[in-house]
């Protein structure tokens, strides 16, 4: 199943408390449970004004439906073409 990177613009998200981030995470998980196993949240990176989320889903429409149901922005959704890491350089 494809992976997607979702860019969510949320002003000052990097300054949210642990409790506030827990609330966002709980909301996301609640929506995921309601949508069934075809969409999975892998992890997210929180920066100053954005969250970058990695999801596994059948298509972009499913990712956007999760955002809509959860009330989360999904400013940009990109399908991952391939994954590279330092071992990619090994011959």
Q: Which residue has the higher pLDDT, 91 or 49?
A: 49
Cα 34 to Cα 20: distance, rounded to the nearest angstrom: 22
Q: What local confidence, expressed as pLDDT, does residue 57 receive?
A: 98
DSSP 15-71: G--HHHHHHHHHHHHHHHHHH-TT-EEEEEEE-SSEEEEEEE-S-HHHHHHHHHHHT
Tokens of 52: 């970058």
Task: Go through the domains of the chain in sequence order and give each one's CATH number.
Answer: 3-89 (3.30.70.3090)
User: pLDDT tens, 22-65?
Assistant: 999 999 999 999 999 999 999 999 999 999 999 999 999 999 99
Angle at 81 between CA 55 and CA 57, to 5 degrees: 25
What pLDDT sits at residue 2? 97
* SS3 state of residue 86: helix
pLDDT recorded at residue 91: 83
């Amino acid at each position: 199943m494809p992976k997607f990177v979702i860019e969510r613009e949320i002003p000052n998200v990097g300054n949210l408390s642990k409790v506030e981030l827990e609330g966002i995470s709980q909301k996301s998980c609640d929506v995921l449970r309601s949508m069934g196993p075809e969409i999975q949240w892998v992890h997210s990176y929180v920066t100053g004004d954005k969250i970058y989320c990695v999801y596994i889903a059948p298509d972009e429409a499913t990712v956007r439906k999760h955002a809509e149901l959860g009330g989360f922005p999904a400013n940009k959704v990109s399908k991952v073409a391939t994954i590279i890491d330092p071992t990619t350089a090994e011959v």
